[in-house]
Every structure is written in structure tokens, then in C-alpha cells.
């Protein structure tokens, strides 16, 4: 298993190298440039040239790429042309908010999606199954920003149950040592701060989780229906095994393999959906900042943020592959046999 993990980590190098090259080429192919975006359409050629010289945009593209790549390896993504602050500082300030929101949304999607899909499969062709299929279909089709505005209007404006924007009530000022506000509330001994941060997370997380929840529920339902008709499940039932044992050892464990795959893929969808969700709820995360950076042609921010997001997605998919071995012993044995044959 360790050799498999090391092999997958080594594969990250060409993947990230190719992504960095595509990202750099895409940004340089966009019309205009950071100097033009900062100074406006009426900027003089001298002012544009001075700003480009300051940030090194007047050098050959290959030289710019190699210089940026060399700095990125050490964790230095350059300086934002908009805020004039290092990109790593902006990442440290904003990324915990998006990670916290995405994790909360993923938790909602996995718990409710697996539960709803499993319940629908076990109540196949009943009103429970039909209701679950209909709910998942609605969840897949409704756009995130539409659902966000509906949730905001109903539960914030009309009912007043949840805050409509931000991460925390500004009157609850406190330190945030990690940037994860719910966790920070407990770390500094302020449960009221943690509760307030949790309430600010509920509506954006529910809006963000809807599509992944619906997809996970549909995959779980289909997977469980396939497994319950397998011979080994019918044999276990004929032997008189307890229903709970059959469900836990034979049905749910085997049905989880495709579900785990889908959960890994949903991480990328959650990070992409966070852009819209954070905009609707004025949630100060990576999404809205990245949109502004693209508009302003802030090369350093766009390159740094997208590269870090790509690393997160690739690492999560690596964890999914490792989870395969933990769930299914056959895959673990095949992986070990392959590693042994290759040595």
C-alpha cells in the first residue's frame, strides 16, 4: 500500500506541471493584461510599460514561466497586482473559509445522500423510493444560485432563522488562530462564536450541497439495488444471517465502492460551486476573490489559487483510491500483488 501511495504521489509531478503550463498559457492568451486592467483604458503607454516592468511582464514568456514555476515550488506564488500583498497571505486568509464551507457541504451531501439512496433502494417501488427519486431529480436540476437566493429569502429575510451573509456577526470580535471559525470558537473558549459561525454556514452549505447530495443519493440507490440481487446476498439470506449483518457486511460495504468514487469527484464540484455560493451569500472565501482576480487579470492570484485548488482535488482523489483498499480487500490484494510484481 505504501508503494502504491508513493507511486501515486510521483504521478502528481507531471500532472501539476502540465496544469501549470496550461494555466500560464491560458492567462497570457486573454485579451488585455494586468497593467491595462489596473490603470484603465486611458492609461498612457509609458505608465503601462512601467507597471509591466515592475512585475516582470515585459520579459519573454518562457522566462516568466520558469521564474514563476521556480518560486511556486518553494511556496512563493508572487505578489497580487491588485492588493499588493503576497498571494500566500491571501490564500492563508481566504482558503480556510472555502475549505470550511466545502467540508460542511460535503458532510451534508454524504450523510443525507447515502442515507436517502440506501433507504430508497431498500423501499424499492414504494412511495419512499418515488419520493427520493423525485427529490434527487429536483436537486440535480435546480441551479445553485437560484436555490441560494430562495433559501436566503425564506429562511433569512422572511423567517429570520439564519444570517443572510458573511461568516460571523461583527459584534462577536475574537481571534481566529486557524481561520476555521467554528473550530476557532472552541479553541479560544467562545462557544457563542462557534455557534454563530455555524449558523452562518448553514444556508450556503445547504445550497452548495444540493447537487452533490442528489448525485450521491442516485448512485447509492442504483448501487444498492445491484448488490441486493447478487448471489452472495441471497445465499447469506438463505443461511439465516441476521438482516443487519447482511446489510452491513454484504450490501452496504460492496455498494459503497462506486459511491466513494463519486464522493471524490464531488470535491471538485464543491470547490467550483463555492464561487457562486460565496457570491450569493457574500461569504468571504476564495470564490469571489478569484472572480475579481480574473477580471483584473491578476496573474499571480489566479495561478496560485487554481494551482492550490488542483493540488487539493488531486490529493482528495488519492485518498479515495486509498479508501478503495480499505473498503474492498480484493482491491488491496490486487494492489499489493501489482506492487510486488513490479519490484
Q: % helix / strand / coil in the chain, to the nearest 5?
A: 80, 0, 20
The confidence band for 68, taking pLDDT boundaries of 50, 70 and 90, is confident
- The count of residues in the chain is 343
Q: Grade residue 198 by pLDDT with cuts at 50, 70 and 90.
A: very high
Q: Which DSSP category does 308 fall into?
A: H
C-alpha cell at 27: 492567462
Of 47 and 24, the structure prediction assigns the larger pLDDT to 24
Q: Which residue has the higher pLDDT, 266 or 331?
A: 266
Q: Is the pLDDT of residue 336 over 70?
A: no
Q: In the predicted model, what is the mean pLDDT of residues 99-112? A: 90
Task: Return the DSSP state at 173.
Answer: -
Interacting residues of 85 by C-beta distance below 8 A, sequence separation 6+: 79
**pLDDT recorded at residue 172:** 79
The gap from C-alpha 222 to its chain's centroid, in whole angstroms, comes to 24
pLDDT digits (tens, 9 = 90+) for 165-178: 888 887 877 788 88
pLDDT at residue 343 is higher than 60: no
Question: Rounded to whole angstroms, what are the CA distances from 280 to 150, 154, 169, 241?
Answer: 11, 14, 17, 51
- Grid coordinates standing for 259? 459511491
14 half-sphere exposure, CB direction, 13 A CA radius: 4
pTM: 0.79
Q: Distance between terminal CA atoms of the chain? A: 13
Q: With a cut of 50, say whether residue 342 has pLDDT above it.
A: no
287-304 confidence digits (pLDDT tens): 778 888 887 778 888 888
Phi, psi of 232 (to 5 degrees): -65, -25
**Exposure on the CB side of residue 265, measured as CA atoms within 13 A:** 12
Residue in 276, 268, 271 with CA at minimum distance from that of residue 102:
271
Mean pLDDT of 193-208: 91
Q: Is the pLDDT of residue 25 over 70?
A: yes
Report the pLDDT value the prediction gives residue 37, as an integer from 0 to 100. 64
pLDDT for 39 equals 67
Amino acid at each position: 500500500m505504501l508503494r502504491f501511495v508513493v507511486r501515486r504521489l510521483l504521478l502528481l509531478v507531471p500532472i501539476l506541471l502540465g496544469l501549470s503550463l496550461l494555466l500560464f498559457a491560458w492567462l497570457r492568451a486573454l485579451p488585455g493584461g494586468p497593467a491595462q486592467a489596473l490603470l484603465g483604458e486611458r492609461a498612457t503607454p509609458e505608465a503601462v510599460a512601467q507597471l509591466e516592468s515592475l512585475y516582470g511582464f515585459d520579459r519573454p514568456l518562457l522566462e516568466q514561466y520558469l521564474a514563476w514555476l521556480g518560486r511556486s515550488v518553494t511556496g512563493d506564488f508572487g505578489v497580487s497586482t491588485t492588493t499588493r500583498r503576497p498571494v500566500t497571505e491571501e490564500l492563508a486568509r481566504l482558503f480556510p473559509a472555502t475549505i470550511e464551507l466545502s467540508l460542511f457541504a460535503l458532510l451534508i451531501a454524504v450523510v443525507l445522500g447515502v442515507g436517502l439512496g440506501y433507504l430508497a433502494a431498500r423501499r424499492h417501488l414504494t412511495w419512499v423510493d418515488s419520493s427520493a427519486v423525485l427529490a434527487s431529480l429536483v436537486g440535480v436540476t435546480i441551479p445553485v444560485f437560484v436555490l441560494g437566493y430562495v433559501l436566503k429569502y425564506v429562511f433569512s429575510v422572511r423567517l429570520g432563522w439564519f444570517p443572510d451573509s458573511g461568516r460571523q456577526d461583527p459584534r462577536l470580535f475574537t481571534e481566529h488562530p486557524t481561520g476555521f471559525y467554528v473550530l476557532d470558537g472552541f479553541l479560544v473558549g467562545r462557544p457563542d462564536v462557534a455557534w454563530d459561525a455555524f449558523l452562518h454556514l448553514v444556508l450556503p452549505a445547504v445550497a452548495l450541497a444540493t447537487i452533490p447530495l442528489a448525485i450521491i443519493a442516485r448512485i447509492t440507490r442504483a448501487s444498492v439495488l445491484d448488490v441486493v440481487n447478487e448471489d452472495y446476498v441471497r445465499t447469506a439470506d438463505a443461511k439465516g444471517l441476521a438482516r443487519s449483518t447482511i446489510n452491513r457486511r454484504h450490501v452496504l460495504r460492496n455498494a459503497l465502492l462506486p459511491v466513494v468514487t463519486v464522493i471524490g469527484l464531488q470535491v471538485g464540484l464543491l470547490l467550483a460551486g463555492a464561487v457562486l455560493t460565496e457570491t450569493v451569500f457574500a461569504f468571504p472565501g476564495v470564490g469571489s476573490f478569484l472572480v475579481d482576480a480574473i477580471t483584473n487579470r491578476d496573474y499571480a492570484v489566479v495561478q496560485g489559487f487554481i494551482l492550490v485548488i488542483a493540488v487539493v482535488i488531486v490529493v482528495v482523489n488519492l485518498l479515495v483510491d486509498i479508501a478503495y483498499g480499505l473498503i474492498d480487500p480484493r482491491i488491496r490484494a490486487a494492489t499489493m500483488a501489482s506492487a510486488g510484481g513490479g519490484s
